[in-house]
Amino acid sequence: MSTKRVGIIGAGQLGRMMALAGTPLDVDFVFFDEAKVSPSSRLGEVIHPSQDNALEAFLEKVDVVTYESENTDTDLVERICKSVPVYPGADSLRFSQHRLTEKNKFRELGIATAEFRKVTTKDELVDAANELGLPIVLKTTTMGYDGKGQAVVKVPADIDSAWETLKGNELIAEAFVNFSRELSVIAVRDTQGNTQVYPVAENDHSEGILRISRVPAKQLSAEKETQAKHYINMVLDSLNHVGVLTLELFDTENGLVANEMAPRVHNSGHWSMEGAYCSQFESHVRAICDMPLGSTKQRQSHAAMINIIGKHGDKASVLNTQNAFLHLYGKEERSNRKLGHINLVCDSEEQLETNIQSFTDFVNECG
């Protein structure tokens, strides 16, 4: 038996769930992270980057490296690539961590995006507002997530405060997209170029944080389903991506518009742990370890994921619900922190909505 050893840069809940999914496939995990205690630290050795010869020690213990975040240091990944394969590769990382590069890539592939302008001065922000028309969203080109690093300019008077909030960063101004809902599509690609795509998820956000994902997205036309799958396959192939990739989409009257991508497993794919035959975590591990891909099909017709944010809430209510599955990350409570999630699997939309309704406290009172 040749146990495969996977190194993960980061040791948060995504690493934890990858390790829980990969261990039954005889894959061992080593984490590269500064935290002494972390969601992943019960599931494998953690090497702290500040230790002497940390990187060398890490690389000696692994056959392949992956990462938890699109904000992973590209220089570090380039260095690792020289001795150990890193999946997804440096290209996937570079295009995901810079909003301008990312949007240009989408355009090049014929994937619809919001209109956008690069903004380096306040004058350019004024020009962008005039050319794109208000409202616009001003964003840092790097490091933004969960609504951080963003400011909305609704009226010309907002320009000053938006500029003051974000100046000093490289910025992008994006035209407002008139969308009915947010969707995401998640897919996996192996080293031979085979791909598998999960059903499109419909995502409810509040205060910039994902609260609920439903799968499949309600009443999504076959045309849009096909468009989502075409988009993500274009991105996967153009980046020669290996592993899981997520594409966030806006649903509009004129079709789907790409918002951003993440070269990793994604919060909107957590439903797949019990909802699909092969979860996004197992899919990622299989792909980067050169194993055959699993099936991304749903096991029951409907699934949902509800985030547990800020407070742990009434755990017993989840455990007492037959078709609910509790996934905690071993983290302390803190405002806006993702502490875990609840997965639901059902045979009808009606039952799913009834279940979601019974857990509204997790969505409304936590935060």
Residue ranges in contact with a copy of itself by CB under 8 A: 1, 3, 16, 20, 23-26, 28-29, 42-44, 277, 286, 291-292, 294-295, 297, 299-300, 312, 315-316, 319-320, 322-323, 325-328, 330-333, 339-340, 345
- Smallest distance from the beta carbon of 86 to a copy of itself, in angstroms? 22
DSSP SS3 for 105 = helix
- With 0-12 / 13-18 / 19 or more C-beta atoms within 10 angstroms meaning exposed / middle / buried, residue 210 is buried
Report the C-alpha gap between 82 and 92 in whole angstroms. 17
Of residues 257 and 278, the one with the C-beta less far from a copy of itself: 278
Residues in the chain: 367
Of residues 59 and 346, the one with the C-beta less far from a copy of itself: 346
Say if residues 231 and 247 touch (Cβ distance below 8 Å): yes
Say if residues 95 and 102 touch (Cβ distance below 8 Å): yes
- With 0-12 / 13-18 / 19 or more C-beta atoms within 10 angstroms meaning exposed / middle / buried, residue 339 is buried
Of residues 87 and 106, the one with the C-beta less far from a copy of itself: 87
Of residues 247 and 345, the one with the C-beta less far from a copy of itself: 345
Say if residues 4 and 65 touch (Cβ distance below 8 Å): no
- Smallest distance from the beta carbon of 185 to a copy of itself, in angstroms? 20
CA angle 238-242-246, nearest 5°? 75
- Smallest distance from the beta carbon of 322 to a copy of itself, in angstroms? 4
- Name the amino acid, one letter, at 322: Q
Tokens at 338, concatenated: 């993702």
Tokens at 340, concatenated: 């875990």
- Smallest distance from the beta carbon of 266 to a copy of itself, in angstroms? 18
- Smallest distance from the beta carbon of 87 to a copy of itself, in angstroms? 18
- Smallest distance from the beta carbon of 333 to a copy of itself, in angstroms? 7
Tokens at 226, concatenated: 């096909």
- Smallest distance from the beta carbon of 277 to a copy of itself, in angstroms? 5
- Smallest distance from the beta carbon of 263 to a copy of itself, in angstroms? 23
Of residues 29 and 106, the one with the C-beta less far from a copy of itself: 29
Of residues 43 and 247, the one with the C-beta less far from a copy of itself: 43
DSSP SS3 for 250 = strand
Of residues 66 and 72, the one with the C-beta less far from a copy of itself: 66
Say if residues 213 and 270 touch (Cβ distance below 8 Å): yes
Q: Cβ contacts of residue 92 below 8 Å, gap of 6+? A: 239, 241, 243, 245, 263
Of residues 103 and 331, the one with the C-beta less far from a copy of itself: 331
Say if residues 147 and 209 touch (Cβ distance below 8 Å): yes
